[in-house]
Chains A and B, each alone.
Chain A
Amino acid sequence: MSDTAPIAAVVARASQAASLLLSAATLAAALYVGARGAGAIPPLGAFLDPAHGVWSVARAAELPRTASVRIAGLRDSVAVTYDDRGVPHIFAQNEDDLMRAFGFVVARDRLFQMELQTRATAGTLSELVGERALGADIAARAQGLAWGAERKWKALPDTSKNRRLVQAYADGVNAYLAQMRPEELPFEYHLFHTRPQPWKAQYTYYLLARMALTLAWSDDEVRHAGAAALVGERAADALFPANAPIQEPIEPVAGRRAPRYDTTPLPPPAPRDSTHAAIAAAGSPTGNLPAVETVAAETSTADAEWLGALRGSGEVAVGSNNWAVSPRRTAAGHALLSGDPHLQLTLPSIWYEVHLQVPGVIDTYGVTIPGGPIVPIGFNRSMAWTATNTGADVLDYFAEQVDDERHPTKYQVDGVWLPLERRVETFFGQGGRALGGRALRTTVLYQTHRGPMIRINGRWLSRRWTALDASDDGAYLRLASEARSVDEWMTIMQGYAVPAQNFLVADTLGHIAIRSTGHYPLRGGDGRGDRVADGTRRASDWRGFWPVARYPQSRDPAQGYLASNNQQPRDPQVDPSYFGANWPAPWRAMRINRLLRADSAVTPDAMRRYQTDPTSEQTDLFLRPMFDAVAQAATGDVDTAAVRGAALLRDWDGRFTPDNERAVLYDVMMEELSQRTWDELRATATVRRGPTPSSAVLAMLMRDPNSLWWDDRTTAQRETRDSLLVASIGAAYRRVTRMYGPPGTRWRWSGIRTATINHLLRLPGLGRSQIPMSSGRGTLSPSDGDGTHGASWRFVVELSSDVHAWGTYPGGQSGNPVSDRYDDRLAAWTAGTLDSLRFPRRAADLRSPRATLTLRPER
């Protein structure tokens, strides 16, 4: 026994040591994963901590019933009352306090969204989400948006009132950050294990620049070059025309009560033209991809499909609408205004509803974009305003001659070498430079006097774009929201530059007016901006901007209403000046004009119904010839699928309602027809998408049944319009039955065309999908294949002496995904209904508020 005792002791010691080592290793691993994370896993300690980590987000889902905060810089107390819809009504005693409170309140609900937008514009997303955003960051910096925004901010005089108010808004955001409780840290920051960055006043200008990217970017030159390379210059001009072939303009034409059709036949396709190939091959030079969505695409498994949908479909199914009716055509005798801007749908939503009041100065209700201390769409006690995108061509490319193809230092203009401005851009990984993020890449950007340069297939192009010019558009919008009449509003907005918008206004005096407001370049030569200009000549430069008097506009027209739907604003018979090219098809404009012409006693509820009207003006133009073609073919050897398809569409009421079982067949038929007709625009037979002309061009081609465009190059025989129509409906019937079985409930539109509202970063679980919609090709609420775009805010205002308004948007006020207020408006939006908007004159007038917040000056 005495022999075994030492051995047992050694074994016990060894066992103890092993146990100790195991514990140490386990603890070290747990601490490492807890503090540093592993791969895509965030640091688990901070993340899972139930007091401060991601779980705490649930504790901040709803606003506290009452709260009181002291913030620096306030002169007086500010009362913020949240109504039952979660809309903050901010009652301040002066504008500076109002802006501080405005920044505080918006940050309280949408902090992550504000930072994400800023970073997407600045090209610093990689610092937030890591290297996967590098491509988007490089594109963003090449666009020069942040650079332009910084220039605008620096150009503001220190004494500028707007500068002071924008700074006050930023101070409000930072005041919120300074007192933010741990549970208020937005969900996404927990995921990315980062903290919000301080808000700088100039970020407001980043946001405006980002809106310009969304709304005022155009690549007409590239599309034109792409088409010209395939079918020749003349045909490309006709396929993507500067003037829409169907004219239902925004600016009414005296005496006209119907659309005007341009019956000029399309010139036939010409042989391929290699002189355009270099630019055409580049596609969109910087990729017209909003940076946030690019990140999303890079993290999704469906990149190719998504990019294809964005770039290749030709006709973007995004369309904003607005219309206003004069008192003499409304049931109650008050002017009515409807706003229906369409944008990419995201959660949290792009818009945030707010009511701002300073007695005697401002009393405005509407929607703001988080980060912008303005209400670009809304109403006050005297008037209402809204906008659709003008889509004018305000971006031109210039082919530059440089001294060194690879490392240029100079460019030539009129025989003189001028120095290039050169900027070195460094991209950092997660954490950024400040928090030790590693440098991912360095790029060099060059710039001429026109703007940033890009290199395409060995050619250097510079870009002139109104969005990069110095202007203070936020100031105009802020001032305009305080206007008391249509005329005052229009006067204030004369200086507004970018993005050009069809601003529609109505007031309690019964006036309505519209103006396509923005800076439109005056060009040399023929004035066209859809060709790459010769950068070696000073004569190619812009010579200034259109005077306001020349903008398309109208006030109190004889027809008693005004409407805009992104169509060509002015009929070229009135003014043939170049304004843009390849205008969206006018189906929405035709529909709303038809509805308003037919209704001489419009009510607010009718305005609401029109917003989701499910009928399209295009269907008749294609269906009648198709029915005739099938009937004609039925006398011979005809495809039975075509006969069945045509019979089904004869029963169709032409409405794209969720319960409709025929709309899908029409939709697929149109896709087939477009593919077969525009085969000349595909570089090879295997390419499914090429530059695609507007459906209005296709509709006008229907009038020329023997045009060469109907011929399918891949077959020996010569096709005509009718043979293509028969083939298209036959193919559509086969495709739909293959996908959804025989005609029946599986053909329901609600299961096929739905809205998809993704989270800003497409994070799973934070978006909503499969939302049925009353929308289709050419309806007032159009939708595209993936359903990611649509009505971002719908509202109707009745301009009676006591203004009434109704509205909704697809989301909710909160950016917190577990909050009731994250998507509480989605049901109303889906149903096409609008909520009554509370517009109290005093805080006390708001019955049963959801929450109150009092902001007090620091002692």
Chain B
Amino acid sequence: MPTAASSEAAPPRSSRINKRVLVAGAAIVLPLIAVLVANLGRDPHMVRSPLVGRPAPPFSLQPVGGGAPVRLESFRGKPLVINFWATWCVPCFEEHPALTAAARGLPDVQFLGVVYEDEEARTQAFLKERSSAYPSVMDPDGRTAIAYGVFGVPETFFIDAEGRIVEKFVGPLQRSTIAELVARARGGRP
């Protein structure tokens, strides 16, 4: 016993330094872990856009294949789903059936595709090849995409009947997600 006590008499100095290092390390690492834990449950596709909760930026765009310009105001009164897409974008290709099925299954909701940096002829061929249940409009120079703060495609905005953006979704959509977010856009109506 006494030998153990004498061997323990030396280290307190170094163990005190270790404790200090430990505290400093914890002060750096713990906030990082806290941030990680706080965001663990968040869906990375639900991007916090500064536009969420604000009125959707207005636009007036030419439909694919020609016709009268499509204006945002004309959709007032029912929920609107605006999907930014392009024919060169593989995830857009993947989500197209889900969007088409949702548009067919939800007649009280308006769906609109905004073509992002693509050619009209190619878009027309794409839409002819695969059936589409909703109109798509061309966005020359990407001005509408910039107004909506689009980073890339596909990005989808869910807008309530008052024209307010309720949610922004980044990446390919699935039917269940569309249903869930459309319900939220419907809930925006008082």
Q: Do A and B bind each other?
A: no
Q: CB within 8 Å of A: which residues of B? A: none
